[in-house]
Amino acid sequence: QCINGTRNHGYFRIMHTIRHLEQITSVGPRPVGSPENEVLTVGYLLEQIENIRVETAAGHHQLTVDVQRPTGTFSIDFLGGFTSFYDRVTNIAVRLEPKGGAQHLMLANCHFDTVANSPGASDDAVSCAVMLEVLHSLANQSTPLHHGVVFLFNGAEENILQASHGFITQHPWAEQVRAFINLEAAGVGGKEVVFQTGPENPWLVQAYVHAAKHPFASVVGQEVFQSGIIPSDTDFRIYRDFGNIPGIDLAFIENGFIYHTKYDTSDRILTDSIQRAGDNILAVLRYLVTSEKLADSSEYRHGNMVFFDLLGVVVVAYPARVGTILNYMVAAATFLYLAKKASLPGNRGGRYLRDLAYATGIAVLSWFVTLMLVLIVALLVTLLGRSMFWYNHFYASICLYGSAAMGKIILIHTLAKNLYYGVSGDFILGDLYFDVSLLLWCCSLVWLTQQGLCSAYVPMLMVAFPLATKLLLAKEFKHRGASLKYSVLYLLGLALPYVHFMFLIWVVFEIFTPIMGRSGTEIPPEVVMASLVTLATIFISSFFLHFIYLARSTKWILTGLGSVFILTFLFVSCGLLFPYSGSPESPRPKRVFLQHTTRTFHDLQGQVESHDSGLWINSFDFTCIQHVTPHIPEINDSIRTSCREDRPFCGYPWFLPVKFLSKKNWYLPAPEVSPGAPVEFSLLSREETRWGTVKMTFSVKGPSHMSLYLMPHRGASLSTWSFGDGTPQFDLSGEYFVFYSHGLDAPTWIFWFEIQVYRNTDGMISVAISSHYFFGEDSRTAQLEEILHRFPTWAFPSSWVSTYDMYRY
């Protein structure tokens, strides 16, 4: 398939894709508004698209290019909720269709912009490189497409999904789009996973299942992501909510430790990952643009799909309504099995049900006590100042928390066996505790099904296979107890659901372990990790509880687990397991954000009431600065800030409304900043309306990224404004956050709001504007450069220059 880079029509060319990736990332970070994003990258993409257009001009397809620079505004319920305003951000839309035109379009979306200070190879340059080659392949194929494809290279996703909003709400081609594929990243490389589909439209999942050459998909990931547990979002939300079109969301998820850091470079993305992504996306797009369902997708809209892959080999998918029937059939079979056992001659009079109830109580109690014990260990680790030791030594968390959890479960059941039941190696008790596990998994199956969750397929598998295995091995178990033959056959019977379940657990840890490094200072990571490891241990061990009652002794197992726990705890408490690493091969960086800022506060008379400058420092993980202070002594708790509740967003230049995630920050005095293009903020007009409100109009001229904070005073409230749909939304504890960005040659930002005053107060509203200089000479100062060089190699300090100006009216 053109591995040597020569031309091969209709196939995915891997070497060309790698060349695109290297070219896009070679310009460095590409924040919105920077020449790297708006000129260099746009120029390269347009050049490559033009080459494809010229090459395929004599073929069966026509290719149209449109560079869109939209302006718009919307509100979004993300990070607590805020409003977004964008001006002249960049979209490159490429329309590929048969020579006679197409009425229905498929959309493929990537973004080429990045966060500040990251080259963004995986997020999301590699997806744009893949899309260029998929465009080339489809344009060159010998059979004409039935429908058209729009390839959208959007230049403002990191600014919280702005460019996709501009396309889907304003571009004339958007009305013909029937479905979309969004290419994203939450990690660097590995397999790209389908983690969102829909809403509804099961035909899209069926298309992926039918066409993808290397499938990797899970409805569990979809339901976890859409629950809001993961602090992230993608353009999928914009197309779904503002375009009302269904789609598929794919993302790389491995090695999220270096996501949004300087380490996200092209050399870290394996060729196999790029090839796999290209093969999948090309095959799925090719299938969809020849599908009759795309022409009238509304006819196939209703219903969700249960879908999951088996080790990336094959995807199982079936309608959710079929899943509901299947789930209840498995649950009914389980209850029938238990009822039959209860009706046996030796179990009449409620004896079996009583024993089952007592055993269930012991099992649930053992799990509760285990969780509490492990959380106590996690608390002790936190108090010792050793949080996040597993960030760079993941398996140490399994050794510490996993051994503690497993040891406690075995100990409690051993005590129950010896002290409560007073027997040893009893196959009747073993049989009883198998039934306990079956019952509890069955209860979770019924509950998840009643909640309408497609993830109920997991407990369905964890009930159906063990039940079938037990029935098939009933005679073997009864006659020989826990014999070697029984144990081997039992494990084989549980292999499929357990392998799949352990794979899901791996995905959970693959996602959540790196997230703990960017979840702020308020979420205790030891509690999260200890809970995840304990729950995984409980789930995995559930169908092995009965072996404790079949075994004659658990002394050696408990001794081994206890030894592992004690040794690991000693290593952790002595500080031998450092959380971070600057290793070029496998970095685990600590994320620190530094802003060299100047703050100015004005009173009601417009006079400056205070003015200062400094380095404002935020650590985005729980360890704060405890590991940084030994390297940079002046960054210590003596300069820790406190929130001024009378100032919008505490009086600091928050780039995004995440102060609830990071309440601990530090402010080191430094000289004043002097950007070459300082922000210009002015009140244009103030008038009382006929309906009793005060309308205030402002103008702002500044850098490509600014944040507006509005805080009505007591006795006043915002009634309307010029953003979104006109209704002020997402009141964050009395404050409103407006995120602003612009591309090149943007005009002055004009906005207004109306405020309703209910009673006389000390002013109506506090308005603050912060400016953020992410690129060019204005983004650096001598003080920033000096302190950045002092950070240890295991830290990733992301820095820029900002200002904060507050006015009271």
Residue 480 reports pLDDT greater than 70: no
Strands (E), 495-634: 590-602, 608-619
User: pLDDT > 70: what percent of the chain?
Assistant: 96
Active site residue 200: no
Note the pLDDT tens digit of each residue in 622-649: 999 999 999 999 999 999 999 999 999 9
Average the pLDDT over 456-480 and give the result: 83
Return the higher-pLDDT residue of 59 and 371.
371
Q: What are the b/e assignments for 678-709, b being 16+ CB within 10 Å?
A: bbebeeeeeeeeeeebbbbebebbbbbbbbbb
* Cα–Cα separations (whole angstroms), residue 606 to 423, 672, 766: 84, 21, 12
Q: What is the mean pLDDT of the chain?
A: 91
Residue 1 reports pLDDT greater than 50: no
Q: Which two tokens stand for residue 410?
A: 């075995």
Decide: helix, strand or coil at residue 222: helix
Average the pLDDT over 551-575 and give the result: 94
- Answer yes or no: are the C-beta atoms of 75 and 730 closer than 8 Å: yes
The answer to whether the peptide bond before residue 646 is cis (omega within 30 degrees of 0) is no
Average the pLDDT over 11-29 and give the result: 93
Q: What is the pLDDT of residue 626?
A: 95
Q: What is the pLDDT of residue 234?
A: 92
- Answer yes or no: are the C-beta atoms of 771 and 715 closer than 8 Å: no
- Answer yes or no: are the C-beta atoms of 435 and 388 closer than 8 Å: no
Q: What is the pLDDT of residue 303?
A: 79
How wide is the angle at C-alpha 536 spanned by C-alphas 535 and 537, nearest 5°? 90
Q: What is the pLDDT of residue 309?
A: 86
d(CA 327, CA 320): 10
Q: What is the DSSP string of 758-809?
A: -S--S-SEEEEEEEEE-SSGGG--HHHHHHHTTS-TTEEEEEEEEEEEEEE-
For the four alpha carbons of 479, 485, 487 and 488, in that order, the dihedral sign comes to negative
d(CA 807, CA 809): 7
Question: How does residue 359 score in pLDDT terms, banded at 50, 70 and 90?
Answer: very high
Question: How does residue 349 score in pLDDT terms, banded at 50, 70 and 90?
Answer: low
Residue 301 reports pLDDT greater than 80: no
User: Residue 640 contacts by C-beta under 8 Å, 6 or more apart in sequence?
Assistant: 664, 665, 666, 667
How wide is the angle at C-alpha 301 spanned by C-alphas 295 and 303, nearest 5°? 155
Q: What is the pLDDT of residue 482?
A: 55
| Poorest-pLDDT segment among 223-237, 428-442, 672-686 | 223-237
User: Residue 35 contacts by C-beta under 8 Å, 6 or more apart in sequence?
Assistant: 775
760 Ramachandran zone, left/alpha/beta (phi>0; psi -120 to 50): beta
Decide: helix, strand or coil at residue 359: helix
The answer to whether the peptide bond before residue 199 is cis (omega within 30 degrees of 0) is yes
Q: What is the pLDDT of residue 477?
A: 60
Q: What is the pLDDT of residue 10?
A: 57
- Answer yes or no: are the C-beta atoms of 590 and 641 closer than 8 Å: no
Q: Which two tokens stand for residue 160?
A: 């919280």
Note the pLDDT tens digit of each residue in 794-806: 999 999 999 999 9
Residue 361 reports pLDDT greater than 80: yes
Note the pLDDT tens digit of each residue in 334-345: 999 999 988 888
Place of tokens 């402010």: 667
Average the pLDDT over 224-229 and give the result: 78
Average the pLDDT over 748-773 and give the result: 92
d(CA 100, CA 387): 63
* φ/ψ (deg, to 5) at 603: -95, -175
Note the pLDDT tens digit of each residue in 155-208: 999 999 999 999 999 999 999 999 999 999 988 878 888 888 888 888 899 899
User: Residue 100 contacts by C-beta under 8 Å, 6 or more apart in sequence?
Assistant: none
User: pLDDT > 90: what percent of the chain?
Assistant: 74
d(CA 242, CA 251): 21
Q: What is the pLDDT of residue 425?
A: 56
Average the pLDDT over 423-441 and give the result: 83
Residue 7 reports pLDDT greater than 50: no
Q: What is the pLDDT of residue 779?
A: 96
- Answer yes or no: are the C-beta atoms of 523 and 622 closer than 8 Å: yes
Question: How does residue 705 score in pLDDT terms, banded at 50, 70 and 90?
Answer: very high
d(CA 22, CA 19): 5
Q: Which two tokens stand for residue 546?
A: 């009965």
Q: Which of 36, 38, 157, 510 is catalytic?
A: 157
Note the pLDDT tens digit of each residue in 95-137: 999 998 999 999 999 999 999 999 999 999 999 999 999 999 9
Residue 8 reports pLDDT greater than 50: no
Q: What is the pLDDT of residue 3?
A: 35
**HEC readout, 424-446:** CCCHHHHHHHHHHHHHHHHHHHH
d(CA 103, CA 100): 10
Average the pLDDT over 77-81 and give the result: 83
Question: How does residue 357 score in pLDDT terms, banded at 50, 70 and 90?
Answer: very high
Q: What is the pLDDT of residue 199?
A: 81
Decide: helix, strand or coil at residue 249: strand
Average the pLDDT over 229-236 and give the result: 82
Average the pLDDT over 38-61 and give the result: 94
Between the two ends of the chain, the Cα-to-Cα distance in Å is: 66
